[in-house]
Amino acid sequence: MLKTFCFIISSLFFLNFSYAALDLRILHTRPECNHDGHTSAWCTLEDSRAAEERAGMVKEINRMLDLADSPDSKIYIGYFSFSNKGVFKKLCEKGKEGISIEGFFDYDYSKEDQLPLRLKNECQGKNGNNIRVRFLGEKVFKTDPETGEYILNPETGERIVDVWRLHHNKFLIVAPGKDKDLSISFSSGNLSAFGTSLHFDHWVTTVAPYNSQFSKSHKCVVEGLRTAVDDSEAAKDDPDLYKQAFDLCFEQLNLSYETGLEEDGIYLLNSPNDDGRTEDALIAEIENLGEIARENTNSKYAIYAAMQNFTHDGIARALNKLCRNKQGRVEVNMIMDDDVVLGSSEVPGTSKFFNAYLKNRENGGKSCININFMETNSAVKQMMHNKFIVFTGPNYARSFSGAGHFTYSGMTHNYENFYVSNGESLVEQYKKLYDYMKKSSVRYDEIVKETPKKGAKEFF
């Protein structure tokens, strides 16, 4: 499959198309705070309201929701978490007007006092069934096979997770009425209080014709999620049913990678999947830029990325191969959360993976990737939560972004939405977002302030 993706990518780059690609626009959070002894990226809870105002994302989401203003309007929301009260208020208003609302959330947010179920229970219209919510995902802790008791981490005393499969999609779709253009947003951030304020996150918004491939592909996501779980909030989802329904929908609607990029300038990739389509697409983008750089050694090519959690060795190897290549070398730049270095990441193994695969040579590692870090306040769970990578060079622009991290779970097991785009404007906006974060970022030695140890040899 990887070779197929490379062929498609190369072919699309050199063809001339006469089409109107979607206008894709980025809004991002702006956690710009002022605390002694910290960079401007480090914020406290007291900074959240001002940060939300600067970002303007809640206003934009509510503007989109107001487009649902007729009896046949529909709203679809899919997020890991939902705790933003401003968005809840607007959704509740729409629900009481009788607008159809369908939501998909992670099962960790299925408690009665949390906003997803409050939306369903408190905000129905007169007929009482225009709002439906479904929960997906599974978290299972390891137990002792003999006693049945939970196995605890000896260092932290916390239960050890055995299976952790998330509903991690991040999308909002507003269908104003039959055959009308759809307003669609996909993001790195959740509809949470921090996701719209203190986290470093972004949203991409667009208006897509109802019969465009971009609109149809999101229909397939919704169909897949519906199929994966029945209407009972207590039901356990079935990822295999999602995969079957999603793939069947794509096949019936005749949706393809080539057509998506040709007509819309963007293509949706999904997880869960069994064929590695998402990771293959990303690695193919990386390898394709390497091929172009080798054929144009006098030109400069570069990658700019931001990623919170990175534990996918295939992607790490591809990036390191790119910046090591002596002919047509590509500069690879990335921004991560300083939790990766400090060991306070929420994903197990992130720090160990960083030391083995991503730590730069100048800091005692083996990698050639240039990494800067955002100093975030882990005490209040502030995060650098952006997830994107852009590929740049003379007459070349590509991006890969979405809800998921660079992890095997994100690429193949969780419910996730990813996007590949050949839109030059979108790449420029991502590069500006990268530059914005880099201004307040720090280097590795500014975090550890000690002589780094010699890195491991076995990985490259």
Locate the domains of the chain by residue range.
Answer: 20-250, 265-448
Which residues have C-beta within 8 Å of that of residue 366, sequence separation ≥ 6?
Answer: 320, 357, 359, 455, 456, 457, 459, 460
Report whether CATH 3.40.50.720 matches the domain 20-250: no
Residue 47's φ and ψ, nearest 5 degrees, are -90, -5
Count CB-CB contacts under 10 A for residue 176. 20
Find, among 341, 384, 348, the residue nearest to 364 by Cα. 341
pTM strictly above 0.85: yes
Contact 151, 143 (CB under 8 A): yes
Greatest CA span in the chain, whole angstroms? 68
Residue 234: the pLDDT is 54
Of 416, 418, 419, whose CA–CA distance to 78 is shortest?
416
Task: Please choose, from the candidates 199, 272, 285, the residue with its C-alpha nearest in 3D space to the C-alpha of residue 242.
Answer: 272
- Helix locations, 296-384, DSSP H: 313-324, 339-342, 350-353
Token pair belonging to 441: 């970022």
Class of residue 85 by CB neighbours under 10 A (exposed 0-12, middle 13-18, buried 19+): exposed
Distance CA 189, CA 30 (A): 13
Would you state the pLDDT for residue 232? Answer: 57
Where are the alpha helices (H) located in 36-107, listed in sequence order? 48-55, 57-65, 85-96
> Do the strands 100-106 and 74-78 form a parallel or antiparallel pair, or are they unpaired?
parallel
In the prediction, which pLDDT does 144 show?
A: 84
- Give me the pLDDT at residue 153, please: 82
User: Distance between CA atoms of 136 and 319, rounded to whole angstroms?
Assistant: 33
Do the domains 265-448 and 20-250 match in fold? yes
CA 118, 121, 127, 130 dihedral sign is positive
Nearest CA to 228 out of 105, 386, 350, 321 is that of 105
- What is the pLDDT at residue 327? 76
Class of the CATH domain delimited by 265-448: alpha beta
> Where would I find the H helices in 66-180?
85-96, 115-122
User: Which string of DSSP letters, residue by residue, matches 181-224?
Assistant: PEEEEEESS-BSTTTTTTSB-EEEEEEE-TTSHHHHHHHHHHHH
**pLDDT means over runs of 10, the chain (460 residues):** 44 40 96 96 96 96 97 97 97 98 95 97 95 91 86 82 87 96 97 94 97 97 93 74 97 95 96 96 96 92 97 97 86 96 80 93 92 96 97 96 96 97 97 98 85 38
Q: Look at residue 206 in the predicted model and tell me its pLDDT.
A: 98
Write out the two tokens for 257: 């990678």
Q: In the block, which residue shows the tokens 């968005």?
A: 87
